[in-house]
Amino acid sequence: MLTDVVIVGGGLVGLMTAERLAREGLDVTLVDRGEPGAGWSGIGLVAPALDGAAAPPLVDLVDDAMHRWPDWLVDADLADQLPLAAGVLAVAESPFHRQELERVRPRVERRHPTAEWLAGGHLAEAVPGLGRHIEAGMLHRDAQRVDPHRLGTLLCASLVRRGGRVRWGTPALALDVRGDRVHGVRLPGEILPGGAVVLATGAQAPGLWPEGAAPLAWAAQRWTTVLLDGVPVPPVAIVGRGRLVAPLDSGHVALVSAAEGSDYRAGASAATLRRTLDAADLLPAVADGRVVAVEAWLGPAPVDGLPLMGGWAGLSGLAVAVGADGHGLTLGPLMADVVYALLFDIAVPFNLAPFRPDRGEA
């Protein structure tokens, strides 16, 4: 059966895109190789690019995406069902890191008027118990946290309610390309035809590039989270140098490690667990917590650090929305809007060139 749009990937970006298109009246079929919830990992930060070394195009893109979230929640009828917790504290863990944060401070305060630089007693008052090596930080009051599992569940229900279909446990093997157009997706034992195809597959995206394509180099990053119980819950998420401590709606506290290169295996190693547990240095009181769960997931990572978003030159019927790395949740509504604009030939109100999925062929 022909569907208007086939979306490959049931992570949060794929589901946001599917819901957005179904909301506009399109017949949508989403396929994913895994089970429900497998791609709804992370701690749910909707935040600016906190790394001072982030490329300017990414900083602009993430800021744009953050500002879309309130309207997206209303348009998706989720504003009353998805509670948001506010606040992320980006802390300086060394003199060098403090210089980096102070360098970008004017830009942050210009873009986010509610952001506040904290040091000394003001910092201790905002988040009691911080590690003694932390001297200063930037409190992002407009950053938010959302439960990714609840979000995924709500998006699935909304998609089905709007007439969309979800096929879990169904791997996409290849694009069905004839001539200069994508006509659908090849699945085990069948071809699923579609008027357009959207790749939102995360770390597996390179396996579905058009035949003969030579996009930029790509790697998978592994993120690991350790959930703790029986510890003080911080009032905001605390982001250090590539690691963080965050409160969760479940009452647990999450420790998250810096991303590391992966061979596409998501399991956490002993070395990874050690690095993740080291994040307790940000808030030493959590070091006495009881470990209740360990989660590891893969995130896509183009080598230039920029997501892949847009159409593919010379090939109609294909849109790509992948490679968001640690910004996937924040970028979700924006990526969904871009896909919608591409399918309906609507001008996108910013420059897509830095994010072209085929930019490696230029």
pLDDT, one tens digit per residue, over 226-271 is: 999 999 899 999 999 888 999 988 889 999 987 766 655 666 677 7
* Region of 105 on the Ramachandran plot (φ > 0 left; ψ -120 to 50 alpha; else beta): alpha
Please tell me the predicted confidence (pLDDT) of residue 274.
85
Task: Tell me the C-alpha distance between 151 and 175, whole Å.
Answer: 29
Average pLDDT over residues 156-184: 95
Instruction: Name the band, by pLDDT with cuts 50, 70 and 90, for residue 330.
Output: very high
Shared domain check, 236 and 114 = yes
Domain edge (last residue) among 302, 337, 352 = 302
How many other CB atoms are found less than 10 A from the CB of residue 58? 21
Q: How many domains does the chain have?
A: 2
Task: Tell me the C-alpha distance between 245 and 254, whole Å.
Answer: 6
Shared domain check, 278 and 208 = no
Model confidence at 84: pLDDT above 90: no
- Widest CA span in the chain: 66
Q: Per the domain annotation, does 319 fall within a domain? A: yes
Contact between 49 and 29 under an 8 Å Cβ cutoff? The reply is no
Going by C-alpha positions, the residue among 344, 241, 318 that lies closest to residue 7 is 318
Going by C-alpha positions, the residue among 27, 26, 32, 1 that lies closest to residue 14 is 32
Q: Per the domain annotation, does 103 fall within a domain? A: yes
Helix axes 148-161, 12-23, angle to 10 degrees: 30
Please tell me the predicted confidence (pLDDT) of residue 217.
67
Shared domain check, 291 and 158 = no
CATH number of 12's domain: 3.50.50.60
User: What are the structure tokens assigned to 172, written together?
Assistant: 């996409």
Shared domain check, 329 and 289 = no
Concatenate the DSSP letters of all residues of 1-37 into one string: --EEEEEE--SHHHHHHHHHHHHTT--EEEEESS-TT
Please tell me the predicted confidence (pLDDT) of residue 115.
93
Q: Per the domain annotation, does 284 fall within a domain? A: yes
Q: Per the domain annotation, does 195 fall within a domain? A: yes
Instruction: Name the band, by pLDDT with cuts 50, 70 and 90, for residue 273.
Output: confident
Task: Tell me the C-alpha distance between 79 and 151, whole Å.
Answer: 11
Going by C-alpha positions, the residue among 187, 173, 255, 196 that lies closest to residue 17 is 196
Shared domain check, 250 and 285 = yes
User: What are the structure tokens assigned to 225, written together?
Assistant: 């989270």
Shared domain check, 178 and 309 = yes
Domain edge (last residue) among 253, 282, 302 = 302
Burial class of residue 217, CB neighbours in 10 A (0-12, 13-18, 19+): exposed
Shared domain check, 250 and 178 = no
Contact between 170 and 33 under an 8 Å Cβ cutoff? The reply is yes
Shared domain check, 259 and 156 = no
Shared domain check, 326 and 207 = yes
Please tell me the predicted confidence (pLDDT) of residue 361.
57
Average pLDDT over residues 210-225: 73
Shared domain check, 334 and 262 = no
Q: Per the domain annotation, does 75 fall within a domain? A: no
Q: Per the domain annotation, does 258 fall within a domain? A: yes
Q: Per the domain annotation, does 95 fall within a domain? A: yes
Please tell me the predicted confidence (pLDDT) of residue 263.
57
Domain edge (last residue) among 282, 302, 322 = 302
Shared domain check, 297 and 233 = yes
Residues 6+ apart with CB under 8 A from 290: 228, 229, 230
Domain that holds residue 349: 3-41+149-216+304-361
Contact between 241 and 281 under an 8 Å Cβ cutoff? The reply is no
Q: Per the domain annotation, does 79 fall within a domain? A: no
Shared domain check, 164 and 286 = no
CATH number of 228's domain: 3.30.9.10
